[in-house]
Amino acid sequence: ITICCQSLINHSSIIIFLRFKVYFSSKLNIIDACIVVVTLVVTMIYAFSDLSGASLIPRYMVTFLRSLRILILVRIFRLASQKKEIEKVTRRMVSENKRRYQKDGFDLDLTYVTERVIAMSFPSSGKQALYRNPIREVARFLDTKHLDHYKVFNLCSEKGYDPKFFHYRVERIMIDDHNVPSLEDMLRYTACVREWMAADSRNVIAIHCKGGKGRTGTMVCTWLIDSDQFENAQESLDYFGERRTDKSMSSKFQGVETPSQSRYVSYYEIMKNQYNRQLPPQKCLKIKSIQIHSIAGVGKGNGSDLKVKIIVKRELVFQCVCANLQNCAVFPDTGNNAVIISLQEGPVVTGDVKVMFESSAGLPKGYEDCPFYFWFNTSFVENNRA
């Protein structure tokens, strides 16, 4: 009974993920499900019924039960092989509707954005390999498809792996989850890719972060612009989202969604076209005030519960607390659903700037334990408004 129940649970999980129609489009799945149900029913009858008169059971029933015993043994064998199937289902659930590579014996959260650019999720080992790309399988794929002609870019600041899996052709660019690369890192990255791609027409790059979406999309789009495959940032972002999203599974968008990341792709477009792939002239700005729109429904709805932190080069350069007006004054604009936070002795900043907002009113906390934040670079600020 335990085996039958476990089989039933396994089948239910697979059906939920694949959907009823898709699962039962396979004749083998239909037969398998029937065996599970019949075996469970007969086993329960056998376990809980009085069979003292078993000698009176017709011969055809005896033959049926013996056949069923063989089917049960087959089921036990299939159960042993279902572990891999459950792992595949788990990985597909985690990758959601990101386009996967499911050919030639591979099933990986991996997408060819172009013939020479691959986007994928983190190559994992240990327990994480149960729900993300197993690193050995990723290495097998790359060695099979692009032996000696691939370079991997790991964009995760939070974790790495032994580069020997990819024959030490691994470049690391440290970007925090849901954050942006520095302009310097973007330029170093595109220079590295240009050199690699020019060395051999067979060379490809495989880029990943954790989920193969935000940070990965940012750097993929940066290269698409640098290599003249797209003229502007928005076109490249739209294209990446289209390639990474499997619309046959769901309409959920699997492209770059964080506004700051999209903004930095636009910055690179400007650096390439206006500054000849050089850093723009530095600009120092003093942050005097911050205006937040659509504030209603955010905490207390008037900004009085917010705390603002301004970070430059990973260092906290300014902090204000709206609740007690520490280093700031708060001016709600109810009519326009906005609030202006005027900073007292606001900081002078230059380069990449991160502005974080924390709340004491129980707002849902996202990444980095704060409700929301954004990035900008002072060199691209026009008319003193970021």
- Give the lowest-confidence range in 58-72, 128-142, 336-350: 58-72
pLDDT of 98 reads: 75
Least Cα distance to 372 among 287, 309, 329 occurs for 309
Would the pLDDT of 361 be above 80? no
Q: Which of 209, 320, 322, 328 is catalytic?
A: 209
- Give the lowest-confidence range in 69-78, 141-150, 303-312: 69-78
Per-residue pLDDT, averaged over 89-105, amounts to 71
**Model pTM score:** 0.76
Task: Strand 110-114: give its sheet, edge to edge.
Answer: 110-114, 117-120, 204-208, 150-156, 170-175
**Confidence band, pLDDT 50/70/90 cuts, at residue 57:** low
pLDDT of 248 reads: 77
Quickly name the fold that domain 285-380 has.
Answer: Immunoglobulin-like (2.60.40)
CA 134, 224, 203 angle in degrees (round to 5)? 55
4 in active site: no
270 touches 380 (CB < 8 A): yes
Least Cα distance to 356 among 314, 297, 294 occurs for 314
pLDDT of 138 reads: 97
Task: Give the model confidence (pLDDT) of 219-242 as tens digits.
Answer: 999 999 999 999 999 999 999 999
**Confidence band, pLDDT 50/70/90 cuts, at residue 283:** very high
Instruction: For residues 346 and 235, give the distance between their C-alpha atoms in angstroms, rounded to a whole number.
Output: 37
pLDDT of 215 reads: 97
pLDDT of 5 reads: 55
> Across 143-284, where does the E strand assignment appear?
150-156, 170-175, 204-208
Domain ranges of the chain: 2-92, 110-275, 285-380
Q: Which residues contact 249 (CB under 8 A, 6 or more apart)?
A: 96, 97
285-380 has the same fold as 110-275: no
Would the pLDDT of 17 be above 50? no
Report domain 110-275's class. Answer: alpha beta
Distances (CA, A) of 87 to 84, 108, 189, 290: 5, 12, 34, 47
Would the pLDDT of 25 be above 90? no
Distances (CA, A) of 222 to 78, 271, 368: 47, 11, 25
- In the block, residue with structure tokens 């750097």: 219
Who has greater pLDDT, 290 or 4? 290
How high does pLDDT run on average in the chain? Answer: 84
